Amino acid sequence: MNKKNKKRYLRYLVFLISFILVVLSPGSMGYYDKSLISIEYDAIVEKYKLIKQGEQSELKDLLIAVVDNRLKCYFETPNYMLRLENCRKKYEYEILRTARENLKSAPSLGYFMLCVQDCPLSYSFCNGEDFSDHETDQDCKEIEVLCIEKCLDTFWRGNSLSDIK
C-alpha cells in the first residue's frame, strides 16, 4: 500500500467514524423536543382564544391598513425567506410607527415587538376556522388587528415611565 492510498483510507476511516458518532449521539435522536412544541402550540391557541374576546380601539382602521399591506406583500413575494426579510420587517415597522404616532405612553418595546411577531398566526388560525355566515377575509384581518391591540394593551398602553425598568 503506497502513501497516497494510506491517506485515502485514513480519510474514509475518519469520515466513517465521525458519521457514526453523529448518527448515534444522544442529541441527534430527537432534534425537536415534542413536549416543548406542544406547550408552545397550546400557548398560542390560548392566546388566540383571548384575542377573539378583545375589543378594537380607534386604531382599527390604521391597523387594518397595515394588515392589508402585509397580505399584499406576502401575495407578491412567493419566496418565504424574502417574506421574512422584507414583508415581516415592513409590517413590524408600520405597527411600531402607527403606535408611536398615536399612543403617548411609554412602551415595553422589546416585549411588544415579540408579541406582535405572533399576530400573523392569528390570521392563519382564523382562516382555518369555519365561517359559514361571515366574510372570512375581513373577519380574519380584524382578528389579527385584535392581536395587535392585545399586544398594545399589554405592553404599551397604560405604561408610565416608572413601570419600565
Print pLDDT tens along the chain (165 aa): 677 677 777 777 777 677 676 666 555 445 444 444 455 777 777 877 888 888 888 999 999 999 999 999 999 998 989 988 899 999 999 999 999 999 988 888 999 999 899 899 888 888 877 666 556 788 889 999 999 999 998 898 876 555 444
Whole-angstrom distance, CA of residue 147 vs CA of residue 144: 5
Regarding pTM above 0.85, the answer is no
Angle at 100 between CA 125 and CA 103, to 5 degrees: 85
Whether 95 and 117 have beta carbons less than 8 Å apart is answered as: no
Whole-angstrom distance, CA of residue 147 vs CA of residue 150: 5
Q: Which residues of 21-54 are buried (b: 16+ CB within 10 A; e: fewer)?
A: eeeeeeeeeeeeeeeeeeeeeeeeeebbeebeee
Whole-angstrom distance, CA of residue 57 vs CA of residue 63: 10
